[in-house]
């Protein structure tokens, strides 16, 4: 078969570079559509597409780059032209051209992904300076600037976005009030009882809530910049006003060129996302499907998939979307499923549960025969949301006593729907639209574990909300097929690393030999192997912190731990002394240089703000360390699965932007946790302000200074699969910070698999970040005192492994290249490059 010559590509223009527009680009790239289309994207904003769902995190330390949905060079690399900051003025449907402020661009197919704009009520004075909206990063910058000279702020609108905006103002240290026209907050999602509870919880956070207030006009204030005058002539003075009274589709371009528009706005589309002009499609919040606008990202993504299908001749259609949502607003859980108000299904019956002490409210809307769930409403606790959603979405018959689903469980655990009860059509991952049937098919095709299912289906790689559910479905299906899910660490132990850790802790076992005699697999020679020995060595060190070079432990160690240096490819070692926080005196720098010179070591500055000396011969290590120790250095554990470095910026001592002494904190932390052995290496970063020069958000533990203390981020990673650390706790003082990290690290040490970094551990943790917060911050397992005590033991028993070894002739005997010849290994040959030695 001959290859068809490539036809001239068709011109595809996408107007809008928001989340949905970007998702369409990704779909086009991933599905090979760029062979057919030359794609140009117009984005009005100067930033490339970013995560608007997490916009509020912009005020808690994240910046435009970290919110961006792709790398800076994604469009270039993919071959898609992104024209940011270029506004489209007009669509000429007769000539098939898009006209911008900079030129005319021909199109064969056009996609409108212009999204929506915040609605500002027509109130006299709404255009005064300091009257802002909350939609884009530029809006947030404007709010931040205005907040610098303000002491208080008002959000007009008590819906979802309004409460997010209120949280942002609170974060900027403004006295914050929310003004809502309706009689309760979030009138779309909750009823009066739920709204009342929500008000109590939000007022408890110091946010003033005013309902049933219609603003008549805004004028000059006395004490503050503005005065808002309400319908009853009551007034409220404020320096800053943010309008968040709903969104409207940005359909002006479509109106101007004569496309069909809905009565209340929105570009009318069909199941293929085609507008009234078949050359033009519309997706996302600008599109009106079946008289509905979908103001959530998941339906927008589904539209993008349908649009891709339309553009490439496929047959995937958009068929509407479920608007059920669960949110955390100002720290308050709110969940809404289906017909939450029970006003769309005549004859619907309702169950309500209200706990005024714990401040939780749950409501079920069920069919008149009590068999089907039609809707649900949750305030204060979303624990049962996932289960309820499955009942609702899959039409599963309710238990005999539906109320049991929302009543508190005496056991403490939320009632969950077993994976076996879900039908094949049940959607497990809504981001990637993966059903239980898809998962079963993947397993039947040969996937044998969770990782395999994830890589084929992409399930749980979006928001990650379905991680726990996915795992239970996969395990259930594997077991149903007779696959025994073997979690043994290796052939010597029928236990996981976690299991071995618990055994060591509970039985107080202090040596590998004892452990394998008591708990090893009797069918082996019980020597262990290179999997279980280092793992157990690490566990023993985490628990008892005896020197790893002691006779009982030395056979367990990898060569790097054995010789306390990092083996390089030619059998020589690299040496990295600790330089806590990256702070080093001139004398110590000179000492490092002297040692490097004397032993002909290649010198390189590391990413962790230390200096790595390469090419050390085994027999030279003790002498090198004698000199380093004499100069005041101690081991840097660059060889260990343990704390590596705490990287820091220079902080408030020198930097005009710094708000805390980041170097001082970095040194404190590095000295506290140095020597802690863990399932894998651990890196920290401490930044002195939100500019984040220490790149703390790419570390296992990231700390960013605030005016009031420290914000703690956890489970970040650089490397092959970068992962941004997640905000874990805010405004901690020094003591709180140490305690929280103590618990976090010990919990990681206790529960992670071998060689599992915190980022992967976190992604595999059932219950995710919320669970982690419950354990570490709320002590839900009641183990925090124990974790702190265990960490204190490690801290108290620290000793420099190199100091310990060079004073022990028995241990030094190992540092010989040959037991019967003192000369070095002649096959190690060095040459010179750029003035330094390197392996020949």
Looking at beta carbons only, is 240 or 532 nearer to another protein?
A: 532
Provide the minimum distance between the beta carbon of 641 and another protein in the complex, in angstroms, as a whole number. 14
Q: For residues 389 and 375, give the distance between their C-alpha atoms in angstroms, rounded to a whole number.
A: 9
Provide the minimum distance between the beta carbon of 531 and another protein in the complex, in angstroms, as a whole number. 8
Provide the minimum distance between the beta carbon of 498 and another protein in the complex, in angstroms, as a whole number. 21
Looking at beta carbons only, is 34 or 490 nearer to another protein?
A: 490
Looking at beta carbons only, is 513 or 730 nearer to another protein?
A: 513
Task: Say if CB 621 and CB 566 are below 8 A apart.
Answer: no
Task: Say if CB 450 and CB 470 are below 8 A apart.
Answer: yes
Provide the minimum distance between the beta carbon of 530 and another protein in the complex, in angstroms, as a whole number. 4
What stretches of 22-96 adopt beta strand conformation (E)? 37-43, 81-84, 88-92
Nearest C-alpha neighbor of 341 from the set 369, 393, 376: 376
Q: Are strands 215-220 and 325-329 parallel, antiparallel or unpaired?
A: unpaired
Note the residues at the interface with another protein (CB under 8 A).
Answer: 491-492, 524-530, 532-534, 551, 554-559, 562-563, 567, 569-571, 813-814, 816-821, 825, 827
Q: For residues 613 and 593, give the distance between their C-alpha atoms in angstroms, rounded to a whole number.
A: 9
| Cα distances (angstroms) measured from residue 781 to each of 62, 748, 774, 786 | 31, 14, 8, 11
Q: Which residues contact 164 (CB under 8 A, 6 or more apart)?
A: 55, 56, 134, 244, 329
Q: For residues 554 and 563, give the distance between their C-alpha atoms in angstroms, rounded to a whole number.
A: 10
Looking at beta carbons only, is 7 or 819 nearer to another protein?
A: 819
Provide the minimum distance between the beta carbon of 567 and another protein in the complex, in angstroms, as a whole number. 6
Mind giving me the DSSP string for 755-769?
T--HHHHHHHSTTHH
Provide the minimum distance between the beta carbon of 487 and another protein in the complex, in angstroms, as a whole number. 19
Provide the minimum distance between the beta carbon of 556 and another protein in the complex, in angstroms, as a whole number. 8
Provide the minimum distance between the beta carbon of 824 and another protein in the complex, in angstroms, as a whole number. 11
Please give the torsion angle defined by the CA atoms of residues 149, 152, 156 and 158, in that order, rounded to the nearest 10 degrees: 130
Looking at beta carbons only, is 294 or 573 nearer to another protein?
A: 573
Looking at beta carbons only, is 412 or 809 nearer to another protein?
A: 809
Which tokens sit at 275? Answer: 């507008």
Looking at beta carbons only, is 521 or 793 nearer to another protein?
A: 521
- Count CA within 13 A, CB hemisphere, residue 762: 23
| Cα distances (angstroms) measured from residue 125 to each of 162, 223, 457 | 20, 18, 52
Provide the minimum distance between the beta carbon of 801 and another protein in the complex, in angstroms, as a whole number. 17
Q: Which residues contact 4 (CB under 8 A, 6 or more apart)?
A: none
Cα 507 to the chain's mean position, in Å?
37
Looking at beta carbons only, is 521 or 671 nearer to another protein?
A: 521
Task: Say if CB 513 and CB 507 are below 8 A apart.
Answer: no
Q: For residues 511 and 537, give the distance between their C-alpha atoms in angstroms, rounded to a whole number.
A: 8
Angle at 486 between CA 482 and CA 489, to 5 degrees: 175
Q: For residues 169 and 161, give the distance between their C-alpha atoms in angstroms, rounded to a whole number.
A: 12
| Cα distances (angstroms) measured from residue 549 to each of 352, 677, 783 | 63, 14, 31
Cα 77 to the chain's mean position, in Å?
25
Question: Residue 448 CB: number of other CB atoms within 10 A?
Answer: 13
Q: For residues 89 and 251, give the distance between their C-alpha atoms in angstroms, rounded to a whole number.
A: 12
Looking at beta carbons only, is 601 or 741 nearer to another protein?
A: 601
Looking at beta carbons only, is 569 or 656 nearer to another protein?
A: 569
Handedness of CA 195, 292, 308, 73 (dihedral sign): negative
Q: For residues 175 and 151, give the distance between their C-alpha atoms in angstroms, rounded to a whole number.
A: 6
Looking at beta carbons only, is 345 or 570 nearer to another protein?
A: 570
Looking at beta carbons only, is 108 or 804 nearer to another protein?
A: 804
Looking at beta carbons only, is 491 or 546 nearer to another protein?
A: 491
Nearest C-alpha neighbor of 289 from the set 315, 323, 314, 258: 323
Looking at beta carbons only, is 226 or 617 nearer to another protein?
A: 617
Nearest C-alpha neighbor of 636 from the set 625, 650, 626: 625
Looking at beta carbons only, is 570 or 600 nearer to another protein?
A: 570
Nearest C-alpha neighbor of 314 from the set 28, 11, 3, 8: 28
Provide the minimum distance between the beta carbon of 550 and another protein in the complex, in angstroms, as a whole number. 12
Looking at beta carbons only, is 460 or 549 nearer to another protein?
A: 549
Q: Determine if residue 16 is left, alpha or beta; phi over 0 gives left, psi from -120 to 50 gives alpha, anything else beta.
A: left
Provide the minimum distance between the beta carbon of 636 and another protein in the complex, in angstroms, as a whole number. 20
- Count CA within 13 A, CB hemisphere, residue 580: 18
Provide the minimum distance between the beta carbon of 838 and another protein in the complex, in angstroms, as a whole number. 15
Provide the minimum distance between the beta carbon of 721 and another protein in the complex, in angstroms, as a whole number. 21
Provide the minimum distance between the beta carbon of 504 and another protein in the complex, in angstroms, as a whole number. 19
Provide the minimum distance between the beta carbon of 821 and another protein in the complex, in angstroms, as a whole number. 5
Provide the minimum distance between the beta carbon of 640 and another protein in the complex, in angstroms, as a whole number. 15
* Residues in a beta bridge with 537: none
Looking at beta carbons only, is 602 or 747 nearer to another protein?
A: 602
* Residues in a beta bridge with 226: 220, 238
Provide the minimum distance between the beta carbon of 615 and another protein in the complex, in angstroms, as a whole number. 13
Mind giving me the DSSP string for 466-524?
THHHHHHHHHHHHHHTT------SBTTBSS-HHHHHHHHHHHT--SHHHHHHHHS-TTS
Q: For residues 188 and 159, give the distance between their C-alpha atoms in angstroms, rounded to a whole number.
A: 8
Q: For residues 704 and 714, give the distance between their C-alpha atoms in angstroms, rounded to a whole number.
A: 11
């Amino acid at each position: 078969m001959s290859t068809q010559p490539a036809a001239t590509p068709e011109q595809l223009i996408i107007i809008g570079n928001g989340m949905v527009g970007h998702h369409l680009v990704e779909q086009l790239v991933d599905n090979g559509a760029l062979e057919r289309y030359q794609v140009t994207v117009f984005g009005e904003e100067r930033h490339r597409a970013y995560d608007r769902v997490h916009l509020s995190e912009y005020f808690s330390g994240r910046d435009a780059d970290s919110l961006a949905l792709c790398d800076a060079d994604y469009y270039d690399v993919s071959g898609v032209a992104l024209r940011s900051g270029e506004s489209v003025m007009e669509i000429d449907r007769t000539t098939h051209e898009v006209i911008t402020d900079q030129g005319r661009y021909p199109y064969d197919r056009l996609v409108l992904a212009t999204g929506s704009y915040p609605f500002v009520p027509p109130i006299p004075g709404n255009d005064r300076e300091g009257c802002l909206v909350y939609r884009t990063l530029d809006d947030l910058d404007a709010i931040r600037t205005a907040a610098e000279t303000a002491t208080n702020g008002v959000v007009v609108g008590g819906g979802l976005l309004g409460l997010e905006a209120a949280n942002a103002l609170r974060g900027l240290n403004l006295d914050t009030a929310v003004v809502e026209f309706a009689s309760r907050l979030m009138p779309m999602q909750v009823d009066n009882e739920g709204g009342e509870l929500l008000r109590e919880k939000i007022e408890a956070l110091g946010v003033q809530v005013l309902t049933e207030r219609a603003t008549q006009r805004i004028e000059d204030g006395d004490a503050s910049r503005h005065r808002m005058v309400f319908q009853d002539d009551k007034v409220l003075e404020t320096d800053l006003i943010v309008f968040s009274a709903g969104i409207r589709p940005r359909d002006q371009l479509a109106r101007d060129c004569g496309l069909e528009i809905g009565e209340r706005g929105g570009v009318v589309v069909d199941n293929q996302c085609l507008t009234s002009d078949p050359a033009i499609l519309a997706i996302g919040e600008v599109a009106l499907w079946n008289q509905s606008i979908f103001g959530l990202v998941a339906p927008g993504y589904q539209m993008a998939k349908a649009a891709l299908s339309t553009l490439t001749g496929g047959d995937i259609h958009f068929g509407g979307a479920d608007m059920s949502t669960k949110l955390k607003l100002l720290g308050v859980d709110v969940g809404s499923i289906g017909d939450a108000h029970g006003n769309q299904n005549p004859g619907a019956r309702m169950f309500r549960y209200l706990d005024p002490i714990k401040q939780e409210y749950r409501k079920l809307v069920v069919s008149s025969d009590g068999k089907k769930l039609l809707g649900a409403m949750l305030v204060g606790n979303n624990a049962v949301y996932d289960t309820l959603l499955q009942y609702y979405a899959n039409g599963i018959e309710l238990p005999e006593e539906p109320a049991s689903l929302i009543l508190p469980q005496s056991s403490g655990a939320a009632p969950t729907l077993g994976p076996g009860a879900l039908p094949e059509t049940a959607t497990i991952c809504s981001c990637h639209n993966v059903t239980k049937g898809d998962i079963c098919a993947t397993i039947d095709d040969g996937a044998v574990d969770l990782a395999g299912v994830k890589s084929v289906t992409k399930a749980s790689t979006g928001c990650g909300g379905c991680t726990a559910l996915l795992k239970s479905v996969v395990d259930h299906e594997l077991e149903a097929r007779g696959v025994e899910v073997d979690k043994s660490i290796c052939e010597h132990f029928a236990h996981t690393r976690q299991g071995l850790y618990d055994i060591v802790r509970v039985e107080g076992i202090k040596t590998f030999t004892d452990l394998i005699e008591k708990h090893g697999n009797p069918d082996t020679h019980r020597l262990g192997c290179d999997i279980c020995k280092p793992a157990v060595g690490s566990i023993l060190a985490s628990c008892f912190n005896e020197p790893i070079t002691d006779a009982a432990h030395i056979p367990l160690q990898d060569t790097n731990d054995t010789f306390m240096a990092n083996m390089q490819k030619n059998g020589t070692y690299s040496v990295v002394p600790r330089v806590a926080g990256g702070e080093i005196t001139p004398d110590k720098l000179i000492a490092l240089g002297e040692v490097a010179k004397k032993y002909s070591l290649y010198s390189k500055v590391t990413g962790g703000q230390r200096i790595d000396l390469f090419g050390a011969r085994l027999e030279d290590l003790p002498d090198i360390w004698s000199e380093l120790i004499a100069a005041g250095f101690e081991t840097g554990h660059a060889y260990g699965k343990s704390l590596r470095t705490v990287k820091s910026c220079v902080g408030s001592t020198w930097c005009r932007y710094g708000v805390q002494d980041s170097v001082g904190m970095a040194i404190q932390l590095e000295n506290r946790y140095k020597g802690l052995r863990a399932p894998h290496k651990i890196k920290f970063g401490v930044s002195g302000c939100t500019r984040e020069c220490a790149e703390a958000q790419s570390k296992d533990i990231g700390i960013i200074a605030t005016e009031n203390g420290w914000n703690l981020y956890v489970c970040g990673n650089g490397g092959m699969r970068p992962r941004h650390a997640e905000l874990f706790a805010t405004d901690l003082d020094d003591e709180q910070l140490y305690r929280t990290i103590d618990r976090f690290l010990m919990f990681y040490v206790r529960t992670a698999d071998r060689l599992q970094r915190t980022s992967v551990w976190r992604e595999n943790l059932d219950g995710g970040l919320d669970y982690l917060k419950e354990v570490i911050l709320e002590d839900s397992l009641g183990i925090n005192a124990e974790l702190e005590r265990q960490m204190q033991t490690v801290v108290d028993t620290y000793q420099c492994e190199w100091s310990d070894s060079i004073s022990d002739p028995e241990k030094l005997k190992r540092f010989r290249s040959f037991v019967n010849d003192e000369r070095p290994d002649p096959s190690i040959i060095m040459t010179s490059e750029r003035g330094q030695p390197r392996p020949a």
